[in-house]
């Protein structure tokens, strides 16, 4: 049986992961509207990944004898200052998620829940990858000053992203 405090925090994290999916879909819609189908595709795939993260928590909570409780998901922003701002906001968002994952890990350590620590290690590693990905894209956007042929080349590059569900 899982600790009640950890169960509550995992339920909160499920909500945050589903919000992340919703946020990235909103970003995809904005980018599509701006004619950047490749960047929109990238964000749709990012949304798929966030859905996977939520369901991984969902399944884990059930496996540990906890109860999944779904709450309302807040509306994400629908307008952004620029395509570059979309990726900068994505990085800020991922840094918030990293902090939430770290707090979950801190709680697992505090209550000496080895199973939770093992499970959460995957998320700790995943967040390093998430932040690095957005840093790289922002660096490229900075090089091309977020416009022109460089923006279109980056749009094309981001259109090739795929999501392959990792093993649970």
Helix axes 37-63, 148-158, angle to 10 degrees: 40
Q: What is the mean pLDDT of residues 155-166?
A: 91
Percent of the chain with pLDDT over 90: 95
pLDDT at 45 over 90: yes
User: Domain boundaries in the chain?
Assistant: 4-69+76-158
pLDDT of residue 111: 98
Residue 119 to residues 5, 47, 68, 137, Cα–Cα distance (Å): 16, 21, 17, 29
CA distances from 138 to 12, 34, 144 (A): 29, 18, 10
What's the pLDDT tens digit per position in 145-158?
988 999 999 999 99
3-state SS string for 75-125: CCCCCCCCHHHHHHHHHHHHHHHHHHHHHHHHHHHHCCCHHHHHHHHHHHH
Q: Is the pLDDT of residue 112 over 90?
A: yes
Per-residue model confidence as pLDDT tens digits over 11-44: 999 999 999 999 999 999 999 999 999 999 999 9
User: Tens of pLDDT along 46-60?
Assistant: 999 999 999 999 999
Which two three-digit tokens encode residue 9? Answer: 């925090």
Domain covering 4-69+76-158: architecture: Up-down Bundle (1.20)
The pLDDT assigned to 164 comes to 84
Question: Alpha-carbon distance 126 to 145, whole Å?
Answer: 28
Helix (H, G, I), strand (E, B) or coil at 39: helix
Contact 7, 65 (CB under 8 A): no
Q: Indicate the pLDDT class of residue 168, thresholds 50, 70 and 90.
A: low
In this prediction, residues 8-13 reach a mean pLDDT of 98
For the chain, report the end-to-end CA distance as a whole number of angstroms.
20
**Could you read off the pLDDT of 72-95 as tens digits, one per residue?**
999 999 999 999 999 999 999 999
């Amino acid at each position: 049986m899982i600790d009640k405090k950890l169960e509550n925090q995992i339920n909160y994290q499920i909500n945050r992961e589903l919000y992340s999916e919703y946020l990235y879909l909103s970003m995809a819609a904005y980018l599509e509207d701006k004619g950047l189908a490749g960047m929109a595709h990238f964000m749709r795939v990012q949304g798929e990944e966030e859905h996977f993260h939520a369901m991984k928590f969902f399944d884990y909570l059930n496996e540990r004898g906890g109860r999944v409780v779904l709450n309302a998901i807040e509306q994400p922003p629908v307008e952004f200052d620029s395509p570059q701002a979309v990726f900068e906001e994505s990085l800020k968002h991922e840094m918030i998620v990293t902090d939430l994952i770290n707090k979950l890990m801190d709680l697992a350590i505090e209550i000496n829940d080895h199973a939770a620590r093992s499970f959460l290690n995957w998320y700790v590693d995943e967040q390093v990858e998430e932040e690095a990905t957005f840093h790289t894209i922002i660096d490229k956007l900075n090089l091309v000053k977020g416009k022109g042929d460089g923006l279109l080349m980056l749009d094309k590059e981001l259109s090739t992203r795929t999501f392959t569900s990792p093993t649970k």
